Amino acid sequence: MPFALLKHGLTRHRSVPDVFPEPGELKDSYDIVIVGGGGHGLATAYYLAVDHGITDVAVLERGYIGGGNTGRNTAIIRSNYLTPEGVKFYDESIRLYKDLSNDFDMNILYSERGHYTLAHTDSAIRTMRWRAEVNKHFGIESELVMRDDLMKMVPQLDYSEDVRYPILGALYHAPGAIARHDAVAWGYGAGAARRGVHIHQNTEVTGFEITGANGHAGRVTAVKTSRGTIRAGKVLQAVAGMSGHVAAMAGFRLPLKTVPLQACVSQPLKPFLDAIVVSGSLHVYVSQSSRGELVMGGSTDPYGVYMTRSTLDFKEGLMMHLLEMLPFISEVKLLRQWAGMTDMTPDFAPIMGETPVDNYYIDAGWGTWGFKATPVCGKENARMLATGEVGDLIQPFALQRYHDFNLVGEKGAASVGH
Amino acid sequence: MKIMPCPLNGPRNISEFACGGEVEHLPPPDCDHAAWIDYVYLENNTAGVVREWWYHTPTAYWFVAERDTRTDEILRTWPAGEFLAEFGEGR
């Protein structure tokens, strides 16, 4: 290994495996154009090819594959949400995740760790009990554990009572897992490309050609890009933080605010924390990756910007709270920090399905909960694009719900104040 | 530390402030359903210069700030009264 490394270091041409074969020029027309080459867009392309045999598909990505929020989340996968709609949806996603390494023939390092959402107040205990009961009703492993049991299950935490938020108990979700997020994007992308889907990186969408009155109830006929115009049978937008911008090009507005969510990792440490630990009151979530780094995140930024900068406020706040839970890591250094632009909805649930433009579909509003939904989104989007039917699992997340005052109210979402 | 130039309190740490969203026209009470949905839920979510309501929490003071959401620069602030006198009831 070291000699091979040395050899490649000294030669000019290195043999990098070609995961995404370059499709070359854009074709004049595609049956389906997917705007956004993140996890959701690539998964949709993958299931269009695998489940429905549709391969006349282009995925258009402004940057590079996995460079957006798919590679910027903290890779936590769980289904212990609060609303029945959310629980059923995310549970299907977990079911798909478990088979992904086999499906891709590529290890996504899916690792079941057990997920603990800490409760520091009586009202939080009440909410955890409520969530556990909703979860169990849908057959999901989810339990309220009180402090004495929790001390045996996650002995790493500080259980003293002379802290700002003493730990009273936790919602324990055994299937809670982490995975290598880049591998998820690469697996879906490579699988789709191998079956004939065109993945065009460095291709920015600049507009749409839409027929019909004032863009209302019109039809999209073509997608304008930085590399030319493509005729399209159907279009799906899956662009996270840029959702409002792309929807505006298609002629409609969304109930979204783009807000950065920051995260960071520590230097690698010997394995000591098996569990994924989350605290809503302390605005902290932490897990230890298979590389030994502590992967840490907090709450979304207090106001919206279209930037992925990191702030001192975020790090100060996060570390102060993290040290209350894990005081012994005070000498550990921070290794990397970054941010992603999240698209937050007012009810913390996604927006999926039909839009005011006939053959234009949307996958947005993924705020802080998008990565864990990647497989189920791909599956359901593919079904919708292939058959025109909006599946039962995503029906509750229609954009129309705001017009009907029928919001979802997903208070099980992470890193947001409720 | 990000500094917000507050019209009442001078330059202060932005963690003392809360953002109240873009300045929008309140629709008339007899507006139709669509106008109400528009006001309550839909966002411009502008990537560019926006005018927003901001609130200084310790002094319970509302004012208007002009900010570029692409660069996180605060360009200008107004006391609410001055802003409304200059731009009327809406923008």
Interval B9-68: pLDDT, tens? 999 999 999 999 999 888 999 999 999 999 999 999 999 999 999 999 999 999 999 999
More confident of the two residues A265 and B26: A265
Among the listed residues B27, B1, B25, B20, the one whose alpha carbon sits nearest the alpha carbon of residue B65: B20
At residue A357, the 3 state secondary structure works out as coil
Report which secondary-structure segment, H or E, holds A394.
none
| Contact flag A254-B44 (C-beta cutoff 8 Å) | no
pLDDT band at A410 (very low <50, low <70, confident <90, very high): confident
What's the pLDDT tens digit per position in A50-62? 999 999 999 999 9
- At residue A187, the pLDDT reads 96
CB pair distance less than 8 Å for B19 and A303: yes
Cβ–Cβ under 8 Å, residues A346 and A323? no
Show Cβ contacts of residue A326 under 8 Å, excluding neighbours closer than 6 positions.
A156, A157, A158, A273, A286
SS3 B67: strand
Q: Which residues are CB-contacts of A258 (< 8 A; sequence separation ≥ 6)? A: A241, A242, A243, A244, A304, A305, A306, A341, A342, A343, A344, B45, B47, B69
Residue written as tokens 């007899």?
Answer: B30
B47 in A contact zone (CB under 8 Å): yes
Cβ atoms A39, A370 nearer than 8 A: yes
Position A215 scores a pLDDT of 46
Residue A160 has pLDDT above 50, yes or no: yes
Q: What is the pLDDT of residue A183?
A: 95
Question: What is the average pLDDT across A186-194?
Answer: 95
CA atoms of A384 and A381, how far apart (whole Å): 5
Contacts of A370 (CB under 8 A, 6+ apart): A39, A40, A69, A73, A240, A342, A350
Asked whether the predicted pLDDT for residue A184 surpasses 60, the reply is: yes
CATH fold for the domain made of B3-87: Folate-binding fold (3.30.2270)
pLDDT for the residue A122: 95
Q: Quick one: pLDDT band at residue A11, thresholds 50, 70, 90? A: confident
Query: Are A287 and A322 contacting, i.e. CB atoms less than 8 angstroms apart?
Result: no
Neighbours of B76 (CB within 10 A): 12
Query: pLDDT band at residue A15, thresholds of 50, 70 and 90?
Result: low
Residue A214 touches partner B, C-beta closer than 8 Å? no
Q: Indicate yes or no: CB of A254 within 8 angstroms of CB of B47.
A: no
What is the CB neighbour count within 10 angstroms for residue A71? 19
Beta carbons of B70 and A305 less than 8 Å apart: yes
Number of neighbours of residue A347 by Cβ within 10 angstroms: 21
A20: buried, middle or exposed (CB in 10 Å: 19+, 13-18, 0-12)? buried
Of residues A242 and A17, more confidence is placed in A242
Classify residue A414 as exposed, middle or buried by CB count within 10 Å of its CB (0-12, 13-18, 19+).
Answer: buried
Write out the two tokens for A348: 């913390």
Nearest CB to B47 within list A245, A254, A255: A245
- Provide the pLDDT for residue A1: 57
- pLDDT at residue A379, rounded to an integer: 97
* Residues from chain A contacting residue B47 (CB–CB below 8 Å): 245, 258, 306
Residues in B closer than 8 angstroms to A312, CB to CB, are 1
CA distances from A23 to A19, A26, A222 (A): 12, 8, 19
Residue ranges covered by each domain of chain B: 3-87
Q: What CA–CA distance (Å, rounded) separates A61 from A46?
A: 15
Whether the CB-CB separation of A143 and A132 falls below 8 Å is answered with yes
Rounded to whole angstroms, how far apart are CA atoms A280 and B91? Answer: 36
- Which residue of chain A comes nearest to B40, CA vs CA? A255
- Residues of chain A with pLDDT > 90, as a percent, come to 86
pLDDT of A224 > 70? The answer is: yes
Q: Is A319 helix (H, G, I), strand (E, B) or coil?
A: helix
- A258 neighbourhood in chain B, CB within 8 Å: 45, 47, 69
- Closest listed residue to residue A117, CA positions, set A262, A231, A276, A296: A276
Q: Chain A: give the shortest CA distance to residue B46, in Å.
A: 8
Determine the average pLDDT of the residues in A147-155.
97
Phi, psi of A312 (to 5 degrees): -70, -35
Q: What does pLDDT average to over chain A?
A: 93
Lowest mean pLDDT among A5-19, A31-45, A112-126: A5-19
Nearest to B22 by CA among B1, B7, B40, B44: B44
Whether the CB of B85 is below 8 Å from some CB of chain A: the reply is no
- B69: nearest CB among A253, A304, A312: A304
> For chain A, how many residues are written?
418
> Over 70: is that where the pLDDT of A414 sits?
no
A238 backbone dihedrals φ, ψ, rounded to 5°:
-145, 75
Instruction: Quickly count: other Cβ atoms within 10 Å of residue A107's Cβ.
Output: 13
At residue A76, what is the residue type? I
pLDDT of residue A6: 76
Residue A418 pLDDT: 43
In this prediction, residue A22 carries a pLDDT of 79
Contact B18 A305 (CB under 8 A): no
Contact between A189 and A182 under an 8 Å Cβ cutoff? The reply is no
**Chain B interface disruption, residue of A306, A308, A404, most B CBs within 10 A:** A306
Phi, psi of A65 (to 5 degrees): -65, 130
